[in-house]
């Protein structure tokens, strides 16, 4: 019994000590964009919806009053990395590694 309890204690320690080890990928992406996970499907003001959290059970909301605006709020379009932009725009895209362009 003692080796099993030591193993469980080590596992619990690792889950707490290693950042992001126990969080779902969509939650990590939300937190990476300085977002917050809300239980409701709509975000309260001044937040805007920016994907999902907790295995698509919650809504990722980002603060629209901060410097982290979505691409569409800034007048741009989110495009995959294969497409070249004539002019790149600052803004967040909901898909990983996509970029925000004003002109394609």
59-82 pLDDT per residue, tens: 998 887 776 667 877 788 888 889
Domain containing 97 equals: 69-103
- Do 60 and 28 lie in one domain? The reply is yes
Q: How confident is the model at residue 94 (pLDDT cuts 50, 70, 90)?
A: confident
Domain count for the chain, please give it: 2
Q: Does 56 share its domain with 41?
A: yes
- Is pLDDT at 18 greater than 80 in this prediction? no
CA 26 to chain centre: 6
When pLDDT is averaged across residues 39-64 and rounded to a whole number, the result is 87
Q: How confident is the model at residue 58 (pLDDT cuts 50, 70, 90)?
A: very high
Q: Is the pTM of this model over 0.75?
A: no
Same domain for 49 and 64, yes or no, is: yes
Higher-confidence residue of 103 and 102: namely 102
What is the average pLDDT across 31-38? 84
**Would you say the C-alpha torsion 77, 33, 51, 83 has a positive or negative sign?**
positive
For residues 53 and 48, what is the distance between their CA atoms, to the nearest angstrom? 14
């Amino acid at each position: 019994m003692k080796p099993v309890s030591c193993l469980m204690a080590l596992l619990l320690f690792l889950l707490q000590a290693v950042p992001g080890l126990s969080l779902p990928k969509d939650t990590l992406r939300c937190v990476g964009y300085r977002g917050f996970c809300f239980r409701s499907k709509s975000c309260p003001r001044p937040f805007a919806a920016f994907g999902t959290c907790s295995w698509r059970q919650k809504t990722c909301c980002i603060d629209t009053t901060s410097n982290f605006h979505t691409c569409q709020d800034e007048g741009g379009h989110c495009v995959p990395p294969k497409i070249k932009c004539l002019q790149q725009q600052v803004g967040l895209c909901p898909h990983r590694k996509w970029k925000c362009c004003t002109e394609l």
